[in-house]
Every structure is written in C-alpha cells, then in structure tokens.
Amino acid sequence: MKRRAVLIGCIALWLGAPGAAGDAHEEAVLRSSRSSVSAGASLPLSGSDFAGSETYQLKLLGVLNEYDVGQVAADSAGVFTHQLTIPADVTPGAYQVVAVASDGDVVARLHITVLGGGAGGAASQAGDHSGGADQEGDPSSAARHDDIRIERDRSGMEWGVIGLVIGLAAGVGLGLVRKAVA
C-alpha cells in the first residue's frame, strides 16, 4: 500500500513538473518570406499575436553561439515588421531567431539557415553535397584532416553519474562472472 502511494506521488510530481522554461509561453508567431540568409545581410521579419505595445529582444541562437540582434516593438494589435540584420561574423549553419519578452520568456521562434558570406575566402565550407560549385581558388588549402580542439566541460554531476555507471557495470559484471564460475 505504502509502495503504491509513493509510486502515485512520484507520477503526480512528474506530471505536475513545469516544462522547459523557454517553451512556456510561445504563443506569438514569427514569420519571414525567406528561410535562409547570408551573414551580414538582412532578413525581412514579421510578427503577430504578440502582447500589444510590448518591446521584445531578438536573439539569434546557434548551436553553440548566441547573438543579440536588436529589439522590436509590437503595435497595439501585437503586430510588427522588421528588417533583421544578421551579424557578418555569424558562422554558416542552422539558427533560430527568438523573440524574448521582458520577463525573459521566449515568446516566438523562427528557424532559419545562415549561409556563408558572399565575398571571400579561398574556399567555402560545404553546405550541401553539390559542393564546390561556389568555390574559388584551390579548395584543398582550406581543408583539414586533423581534429578540432574542443573544450570538454563536464559538470560534477556528469562525472558522478558516469563514474557510477562504470563502477556499477564493473562491480555487477565481476559479481556475475564469479557467480557463474561458482
């Protein structure tokens, strides 16, 4: 009976737990007539269903980087249009434009692709497999077969869990082998 009560309590806690904070109030809508934009270029942006007469911070979220890309103010109907300028130093890749309310909540999100800047290096990064068509000069000068140096930042909790998994696997494994031999 007690075990059942604990189980029901755990399920209730799990169901009642708040979702990811960033997704809590995403009821507004961000749109653009384009899904991709070059670094340094502008992206036409429109918003609707925002809270009327509120100001929102726009951010460009990459997988690893984050950029502040200005502010927009919705009119009394909760609508705005805006020309979003992508910083020239943004690396090509998949990004999200998010509108952040004054309380820090993300209220709308738009997925875009940032393309490599038009001018420039000896070779572009391969954005699709047709690659090479937009390259100038000798591409091999930009290609590297070595590895990136990556900062691996592991939290104490991660160390603990990984250590526990390895320790449990080793301990239980040894125990089972001994049991089978016996």
For another protein, the binding residues (CB under 8 A) are 62-64, 92-94, 113, 123-132, 135, 139-140, 142-148, 150-154, 158, 161-162, 165-167, 169-170, 172-181
> Of 53 and 113, which has the nearer Cβ to another protein?
113
Residue number with CB closer to another protein (17 or 180) = 180
State the burial class of residue 108 (Cβ atoms within 10 Å of its Cβ: 0-12, 13-18, 19+): buried
DSSP 106: E
**Least spacing, CB of residue 19 vs another protein, in Å:** 16
Task: Take residue 6 and report the two structure tokens written for it.
Answer: 């604990």
Q: Find residue 82's DSSP bridge partners.
A: 45
User: How far apart are the C-alpha atoms of 21 and 86, rounded to whole Å?
Assistant: 26
Shortest distance, position 117 Cβ to another protein, whole Å: 14
Tokens of 71: 């502010």
- Of the pair 71, 113, the CB lying nearest another protein is at 113
**In sequence order, what are the residues at sequence separation of 6 or more whose Cβ sits closer than 8 angstroms to the Cβ of residue 41?**
85, 86
- CB of residue 54 vs another protein: minimum separation in angstroms? 31
Least gap, CB of 7 to another protein (angstroms): 17
